Structure 1
Amino acid sequence: MLDHQTDFLQLALQHEVLKFGQFTLKSGRQSPYFFNLGKIASGAAMRRLAQAYARTLKAAGIECDMLFGPAYKGIPLVTAVACALAEWGTDLPFAYNRKEAKDHGEGGTLVGAPPRGRVVIIDDVLTAGTALREAVAMLKKAGAQPVAALIALDRQEKGPSGLSAVQEMERDSGVRVIPIVSVREVLSYLAEGRVDAATLEAIRAYQGQYCI
């Protein structure tokens, strides 16, 4: 596991982004863990999170001309990641969208730099993939080329098609989806004595049933 992945998982546990118990997901499945990136709610924590995204982008070797954050969670994320990259000498323009079109002032739904060139989308997690698909369509309509989407976690769970949400997104859009960590890396990290045996076994059993 890479250093930025370990740091991200430390952050997730420290801020209860990753919680354990019994949680009902949108799919109706009963999951023994829940992931909520909205628990990152301080400047220092957001800085560490942004660095994890930025290092993931660097490690993936993706060349891009700008960043895009889908409303709403993608807005603070793309801002913070742009700042993290700028600290390392890569100053990229970024943009985001509004959920509702503005009918006064400059109008429209897009805010920030005009979409252009190769764009990396920054978001939290990929569940149904609706927000990412909308972002891809929006960017293409504006004349840009979405090349990748960075997310925090890939749960690697099978959907009705037999593919995971990430696999479906890549198949349907042609956009590469890159997680900071997958659930397999989460399990590897937790197995180092960070949770009790019962919790670890529950996650393994859940993944055995639903994982791709």
Structure 2
Amino acid sequence: MASNNDPLPSYKADFLNACISAGVLKFGSFTLKSKRVSPYFFNAGLFHRFDLLRIIASAFAHTLAGHIDSSSLDFDVLFGPAYKGIPLSAATGLELAALDAEKFGKKDYSFNRKEAKDHGEGGSIVGAPLKGKRVVIIDDVITAGTAIREAIDIIHREGGQLVGIIVALDRMEKMPGTGVDDDAAPRPSAIGEVRKQYGVPVLSVLTLNDIIAGLTGIGSEEDIRRMEEYRAKYKASD
């Protein structure tokens, strides 16, 4: 993880620059579902142009390949939950094969239907079957963790083994509380909760630390200051 003084790896820097230029990452004042007022907002749904899709897929591929090279994590199937995860799984698979055809070229991808098909081959899974396979989930973000738990339930129901999760952004902020001490009480992030509950690595292309580090020297000093204050206020305990 980069500090504010360390340069980001090129794939992270390219991804961050693409996010900013395409308006995927915006700075200002944004009220989140949690009612927190965030100085930045990330919308991976805007990666709908082919050149941008290739950039995010390449960033996912480098992140995943780098982790596999440095750990015991490996997978058979890259699973993209409907709907945002569908293009991400296919595009990232192409980029992984381009990185190392021998290592990744024979791996699979799959995704789920929102409604199970009741004719033809039937079922709710499109692409590679999950039974007996090691599966990595790919998605844009984990917010409350509800959607990712639904994807995990699908994998288990289909007989697959969850071995990891990868997302585009880790906001690194604690989950909202219900009392007046929301800002003060230590709590884990949604990613931390999922990591603890399922005991698998949860990787991210960018973290809030990365964004701050990547903007240092090129971004608005006011934007950086506000993000540093937000990080200090809502930093997760994990």
Distance, in Å, in 2 between the alignment partners of 1:37 and 1:178 is 16
Q: Secondary structure at the match of 1:123?
A: strand
TM-score normalised by L of structure 2: 0.85
Matched to 2:32, the amino acid is L
How far apart are 1:142 and its partner, in Å?
1.3
Matched to 2:230, the amino acid is Y
Q: Secondary structure at the match of 1:85?
A: helix
Greater than 6 Å deviation, 4+ residue runs: none
Question: Unaligned 5+ residue runs, structure 2?
Answer: 1-7, 178-185
Spell out the pairing of 1:47-66 with structure 2 (5 A cutoff): 47-61=54-68, 62-66=73-77
Spell out the pairing of 1:124-203 with structure 2 (5 A cutoff): 124-159=140-175, 160=177, 162-194=187-219, 196-203=220-227
Task: Indicate yes or no: 2:86 matched with 1:75.
Answer: yes
How far apart are 1:122 and its partner, in Å?
0.7
Question: Unaligned 5+ residue runs, structure 1?
Answer: none
Contact 1:95/1:113, CA 8 A, preserved across alignment: yes
Distance, in Å, in 2 between the alignment partners of 1:179 and 1:21 is 23
Q: Is the deviation greater in 10-19 or in 85-94? A: 85-94
Distance, in Å, in 1 between the alignment partners of 2:221 and 2:108 is 46
Distance, in Å, in 2 between the alignment partners of 1:81 and 1:199 is 31
Distance, in Å, in 1 between the alignment partners of 2:218 and 2:52 is 23
Distance, in Å, in 2 between the alignment partners of 1:87 and 1:99 is 30
Q: Give the length in aligned residue pairs.
A: 211
* Pair member with larger Rg: 2
Q: 1:99 aligns with which of 114, 119, 143?
A: 114
Matched to 2:17, the amino acid is Q
Q: 1:2-49 CA distances to partner (integer Å, 9 max, x unpaired)?
A: 221111111111111110111111111111100001111111111111
Q: 1:86-132 CA distances to partner (integer Å, 9 max, x unpaired)?
A: 22302221110111222222222111110142111110011011121
Distance, in Å, in 2 between the alignment partners of 1:176 and 1:79 is 21
Matched to 1:10, the amino acid is N
Distance, in Å, in 2 between the alignment partners of 1:139 and 1:152 is 21
